[in-house]
Chain A
Amino acid sequence: MLDGKKIVVSFGEQKVLQSVSIKLQKGERIALFGTSGAGKTTLLKVLSGLYNPNAGEICFNGIKPQFQYINSSSVERKWIWPKVTLVFQDIQLFPNLSGFENCSDNLQNQSLEKSNEVWELATHLDVLHIMNKSPKKMSQGEQQRIAIIRALLKNPDFLLLDEPTSALDPIIKKQLGKILVEKSESKGMGFLIATHDWEFANQFTQKFIVVKNGELKFFETITGATNEMSGIQGK
């Protein structure tokens, strides 16, 4: 279980998250909504062990992330990665490596090209033909799909995704949803997806969270979340 307790994150005067708590169970599929700048990405970065919150704690089966500050601009972090991993909104593929190399553990493609799983995922997400290309020669949507494959190949217990469908067409989006649900059901992978895509969330997730004024509101149905969001956007 991935457990975040009373997390507080501030950037200067601005409090982005105010003592929020969240629990992700094995195999759970959750959508995270919120207006731009509400704190969705910050929450994902805290849950993935990248940000050290100002207060509160994160733990995965009792193990907490460790932060060792080298100097004011450098910090060494340690955790159970990639058991908990994150797909970034800004993708972050390694620019000097091919799609295959980006997805492999040692960043070389020898073993990976023969792996069934990568072929299967790349075929389903329609990127097999570009797996040998450099990210510079890929569209944003293609890069996004490779980044998702890269994270899925690590077989995480929890996958956090930051707006992964923003550059995907409806058919690929559906394929992605099916893959995530299949991983969740067959391997018990839980996922938390920050998105503005209501349809995707309704189709492929079971629970809904809205980030509002630095707090989290939990909903069992999409209608509740939609109403909450319309309330925010209507104001």
Chain B
Amino acid sequence: MLTEFIYGAFKTLSLAFTAWAFGLPMGIIFSFCSLRFPKYKFYLSSLSVALTVLPFLALLFWIHYPLQSLLDVVWSPYFTSAFLLVTFVAIISGEIVAEEMRKTKKDFIDSVDVLGIRRDIFLKRIVFPTALVNALPRLLNLSVISIHMTMFASLIGVEELFRITLRLNSEFLQPVKIFSIMALVYACICLPLYFLSYRLSKNLKRNNNA
């Protein structure tokens, strides 16, 4: 049973890792575009609202079944889930970083102008690093959410932690024990991220008040 849980946890982590390995760099590119071009700002904000408002499950089903038959192609459920999670992380993290970049830019643009500092240096040395540090707690929270979202992948057939839990429960019929183990595994993955995010927000608040 333990081996199966470990396999499920590995699949969950691999989905989450894929989402972040591809989603975060894309999100950062989106945030720069949003800062540079007002049109992109509108697109990014609209997509971010859409992804927050629309149920992830509905999107997952829509991309996995109707879209495949519409395009007359077949791809694996893992690919569908990873693609959607990457999109989700890219858009939401892009919006978070862009928001922090706009705030940092607004806070320091007067200084930068009167000191005659070049805009590219300002973006590289001040806006981006400061925004990333300020966005870190929210990005870590997003990572916890995205790990939980990997659960939905089970509904289109990905053998991740939740799906394995359901299968084991149907075999052994010990829901309390089996779902408690699943909850424990999720907690072990997510708690360190949650505490890191909590500590970072506390430090940021203290630094900003100093």
Contact = CB atoms under 8 A, between A and B. Distances in A.
A154 interface: yes
A50 B121 contact: no
Interface residues of B, number: 20
Interface stretch (B87-95, B106-114, B147-155, B173-181): B106-114
B133 interface: yes
Nearest to A101: B125
Interface string A35-67: 000000000010011100000000000000000
B129 interface: yes
B210 interface: yes
Contacts of B113: 49-50, 77, 79, 81
B70 to A, nearest CB: 38
A92 B111 contact: yes
B129 A50 contact: no
A81 B114 contact: yes
Interface residues of A, number: 29
B115 A150 contact: yes
Contacts of B55: none
A32 interface: no
Contacts of A82: 114-116
A175 interface: no
Interface of A: 45, 48-50, 70-71, 74, 77, 79, 81-82, 84-86, 88, 92, 94-97, 101, 105-108, 136, 150-151, 154
Interface of B: 38, 107-108, 110-111, 113-118, 121-122, 125-126, 129-130, 133, 207, 210
Given A94-B130, A95-B130, A136-B210, 15 more contacts: A50-B113, A70-B38, A82-B114, A88-B110, A94-B108, A94-B111, A95-B207, A96-B125, A96-B126, A96-B130, A97-B125, A107-B117, A107-B125, A150-B115, A151-B114
